[in-house]
């Protein structure tokens, strides 16, 4: 009987994992400028057109020489005028900096010190993951639509089940 129970648990874990893969969006880490990073030798307008489908939860990864450059989040007007005064946020920490895209909206970044005029600025447009909208319609019988399983809960359940499965039998 113990072998059957263990097999049932394994099947349950696999089913939960598949459900999680189908309902959980995966955040991506996108290196700004690709292999060239954040510097003067990249056409960021061209780069951003190749990265038009950024989603809420994704991360931008800026790689640069912190002794020469920085990364400032600015508004649209400052972006268009290369104005580094009154920026929204300085995300510069050490030259290997990440920034999470937390809202569906345009984001604007530039490097100060005149580097913006040499092309060091990028605008990205973030959208909601297609699977997140629109909300599913209610069932015809009036019952609420099924909800996606929270990734944190899914992870906790899988950890618990695997701990039970992998626990050595005590006689």
**How far is 42 from 112, CA to CA, in rounded Å?**
16
**Beta-ladder partners of 106:** 125
With tokens 């307008």, the residue in question is 45
Task: List pLDDT tens digits, range 39-53.
Answer: 998 999 899 888 878
Place of tokens 């990364």: 71
pLDDT, residue 41, reads 83
- The answer to whether 95 and 110 have CB atoms below 8 angstroms apart is no
Q: 60: pLDDT confidence band, cut at 50, 70 and 90?
A: very high
Are 153 and 24 in contact, with CB atoms under 8 Å apart? no
Q: Is the per-residue pLDDT at 169 higher than 60?
A: no
C-alpha to C-alpha distances, 121 to 41, 42, 113, nearest whole angstrom = 12, 10, 12
Domain 29-129: CATH superfamily, name plus number: Cupredoxins -  blue copper proteins (2.60.40.420)
| pLDDT exceeds cutoff 50 at 63 | yes
What's the whole-model pTM score? 0.63
Q: What is the pLDDT of residues 143-168, one digit of tens each?
A: 555 555 555 555 556 565 555 655 55
């Amino acid at each position: 009987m113990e072998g059957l129970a263990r097999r049932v648990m394994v099947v349950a874990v696999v089913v939960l994992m598949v459900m999680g893969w189908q309902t959980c969006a995966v955040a991506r880490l996108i290196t700004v400028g690709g292999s060239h990073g954040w510097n003067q030798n990249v056409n960021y307008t061209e780069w951003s057109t190749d990265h038009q489908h950024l989603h809420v939860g994704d991360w931008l990864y800026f790689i640069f020489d912190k002794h020469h450059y920085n990364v400032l989040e600015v508004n649209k007007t400052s972006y268009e005028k290369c104005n580094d005064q009154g920026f929204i946020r300085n995300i510069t920490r050490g030259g290997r900096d990440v920034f999470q895209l937390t809202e569906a909206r345009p984001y604007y970044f530039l490097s100060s010190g005149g580097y913006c005029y040499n092309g060091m600025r990028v605008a990205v447009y973030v959208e909601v993951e297609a699977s997140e909208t629109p909300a599913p319609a209610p069932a015809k019988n009036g019952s609420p639509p099924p909800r996606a399983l929270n990734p944190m809960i899914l992870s906790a359940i899988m950890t618990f089940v695997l701990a039970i499965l992998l626990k050595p039998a005590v006689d």
